[in-house]
Structure 1
Amino acid sequence: MRKPFAALALVLAFGAAPAFAQNAGLGKPISEADIKQWDIAILPDGTGLPPGSGTPAQGAQIYAQKCVACHAEGGKGGGAPGAGPLVGGAPLTNGIETQKTIANYYAYATTIFDYIRRGMPYTMPRSLKDDEVYALTAYILSLNKLIGENDAMDAKTLPQVKMPNRDNFIMPYPDRI
């Protein structure tokens, strides 16, 4: 007699629970426009890069205004704590202890664009226009001698830049790139 009564009590308790459920009243529905503002991922092959372009010369001007205070003249670092150098660095595979920089660590040039676009300048992230981000990316790539001083970067040319460390990463899922 006890088991059927316990089973009936459980069915009634859990069956009636939805009738007493309450909405927590937290948050609000998100619109497609809101999602689009934060859907800014850039893939290694360039998928997600926005329209726009920039040259190293344009990037040098922007760098002097918005980046030099932290990253120092010529991207050598030391301007602000935590803002390491953007240029140089020995290859990471030679056994010498060295600092990771854009030239010796990043596997894809599109990562530079993505990082600048999301997080720079440090005091005002996401404040740069896409053309400014392309220009800064071009400037940093040219400082590292990875592109020429007159090479413009855009959604087509940026993914074509071969970074020195591209083949030194072990990709756990290479078919996803």
Structure 2
Amino acid sequence: MHSIKTVIIAAAAAALLSDSALAFPYDFGRPATKEEMALWDIDVRPDGTGLPPGGGTVAEGKAIYADNCEGCHGEAGQGGIKDRLVGGQGTLATGHPVKTIGSFWPYATTLYDYIRRAMPYPAPGSLSDDETYALVAYLLNLNGIVPEDARLDQSNLAKIRMPNRDGFVPDPEFRTITNSR
């Protein structure tokens, strides 16, 4: 008897979920506007496509780092509870590679993109574009990539040649993908 009830309940549920029941036109939400989509379209490519207007200096970045990053990454990008950000140059081909911004990352624009999207913890996306440029300038300076008086912006960030730029070899299968922007 128990199995007959189970079959009847299953048949009733199947009827409710039939094509006619699913054909009910749900009216949830609305299409996003171009302005709303632009808020999410913030990726920055290696060639600098997608970098916003603005800029920042090493000195400005030092203060931003102290307020937002030092607690996790340590003073001057080392010794914190999270990833080390500074040093490691020349270690990638050794038995103990130290992967940092200065030793591993191939593009300065990737650093900007990552900080803009994912940092600082626990409030990603809370830095302004100018603050992000300044923080990138500071971190690149700590790694000996830009001078202490550097000011980074939309016009010069993509021109920075990172030490490991040639350490990444694109897969030939993906070289034919064209830029969709």
Q: TM-score, normalised by structure 2?
A: 0.80
Once the 2 structures are TM-superposed, how far is the Cα of residue 95 of structure 1 from its aligned partner? 2.8
Question: 1:25: how far off?
Answer: 3.9
**Aligned AA for 2:78?**
K
Q: Which residue of 2 aligns with 1:12?
A: none
Superposition RMSD on alpha carbons, in Å?
2.1
How far residue 119 of structure 1 moved from its aligned partner, in angstroms, is 0.8
Asked if the contact 1:56–1:149 (Cα under 8 Å) also holds between the matched residues in 2, the reply is: yes
Q: Which residue of 2 aligns with 1:100?
A: 99
Aligned equivalents of 2:115, 2:129: Cα separation in 1: 10
Match of 1:13? none
Match for 2:84: what amino acid?
Answer: P
Separation (CA, whole Å) in 2 of partners of 1:106 and 1:37:
26
Aligned-partner SS, 1:153: strand
Q: 1:33 aligns with which of 32, 35, 45?
A: 35
1:125 aligned residue: 124
* Counterpart residue identity of residue 71, structure 2: A
Note the C-alpha offset of 1:34: 1.3
| Gaps in structure 2 of 5+ consecutive residues | 1-18
How many residues align? The count is 158
| Letter aligned with residue 101 of structure 2 | I
Cα distance change, pair 72–168 in 1 and its aligned pair in 2 (3 A)? same
In the TM superposition, residue 98 of structure 1 has moved relative to its aligned partner by 2.0
Q: Partner amino acid for 2:68?
A: K
SS class of match (1:103): coil
Residue 104 of structure 1 aligns to a residue whose secondary structure is coil
User: What residue number does 2:44 align with?
Assistant: 42
**Counterparts of 1:90 and 1:113 in 2: how far apart (Å)?**
20
Using the size of structure 1 for normalisation, the TM-score is 0.81
Q: Which residue of 2 aligns with 1:169?
A: 168
What do residues 32-73 of structure 1 show as CA deviations (whole Å, max 9, x unaligned)?
121111000101010110001111111001111111111110
Hey, what does 1:134 align to over in structure 2? 133
In percent, how many aligned pairs have the same letter? 45
Alpha-carbon contact 2:92-2:99 (below 8 Å) kept = no
Q: Which structure features the higher share of helix residues?
A: 1
Give 1:125 shift. Answer: 0.6
Structure 1, gaps ≥5 residues long? 1-16
Q: Deviations over 1:98-136 (max 9, x none)?
A: 231111111100001001100111111101010000000
* In 1, Cα distance between equivalents of 2:95 and 2:160: 26
Matched-pair contact (CA < 8 Å) for 1:119–1:125? yes
